[in-house]
Chains A and B, each alone.
Chain A
Amino acid sequence: MNTVLRALSFRLIQAGGVALVVGVMSFLMMQAMPGDMAYRIAAARYGYDLVSADLADAVRAELRLEAGPFAQFLRWMGDLAQLDMGRSLVSGQPVWQEIAHQLGASLQLAAAAMGLSMLIGPPLGIFAGLHPGGWFDRVLLVVAAGFRAVPQFLLGLVLIVVLAVQLRLLPAAGHGSLAHFVLPALTLALGLAAASARIARDAMAAVAASPHYAFARAKGLTEAQILRRHGLRNIAAPLVTYLGLQFVMLAEGVVVVETIFGWPGIGHALIHAVFHRDVPMVQGTALVMGLGFVLLNAVVDLIVRHIDPREVQA
Chain B
Amino acid sequence: MTASRLGWGLLVALICFALLAPLGDPLGPFRQSLTKALSGAEAAAPFGYDHLGRSMFSRLAHALRLSLLLAFAATATAAAIGIAFGALASWRAGWIDRALSLLADSMLALPALLMVLMMGVILSSTPLAFWAGLAAVQWIEFFRLTRSAARSHLASPAAVAATLQGFGPIWIFRRILWPEIGPMLRTTIAFGVANSIAAIAALGFVSVGMRAPTPELGLMMVELLPSWREAPFALLQPVLACFTLLLALNLIAGARK
Contact = CB atoms under 8 A, between A and B. Distances in A.
Interface stretch (A97-105, A220-228, A271-279): A271-279
Contact of A251 (B111, B198, B201): B111
A119 interface: no
Contacts of A255: 111, 113-114, 206
B231 interface: no
A256 interface: yes
A270 B205 contact: no
B228 to A, nearest CB: 7
A286 B114 contact: yes
B164 interface: no
Contacts of A28: 122
Contacts of A111: none
A286 B110 contact: yes
Interface string B239-253: 100110011001100
Contact of B107 (A21, A249, A289): A21
Contact of A149 (B110, B202, B228, B246): B246
B109 A256 contact: no
A154 B111 contact: no
Nearest to A32: B122
B120 interface: yes
A256 B124 CA distance: 22
Nearest to B103: A17
A270 B110 CA distance: 13
B205 A18 contact: no
**Interface-centre pick from A145, A152, A255 (highest chain B CB count, 10 A):** A255
Given A260-B206, A271-B206, A293-B109, A25 B102 contact: no
B111 A17 contact: no
B225 to A, nearest CB: 7
Interface in B38-59: none
A286 B202 CA distance: 18
Contact of A277 (B121, B221, B225): B121
A25 B136 CA distance: 12
Interface in B220-237: 221, 225, 228
A148 B202 contact: no
Interface string A149-187: 111111001000100000000000000000000000000
B117 interface: yes
22 contacts: A13-B102, A18-B110, A22-B110, A25-B118, A28-B122, A29-B118, A32-B123, A32-B124, A145-B250, A149-B194, A151-B198, A153-B205, A157-B225, A248-B109, A252-B114, A274-B117, A274-B121, A285-B114, A286-B110, A286-B114, A286-B118, A290-B109
Ordered nearest first, which 8 A-B pairs have the shortest CB separation? A17-B106, A293-B109, A151-B198, A252-B111, A259-B206, A149-B247, A29-B121, A290-B109
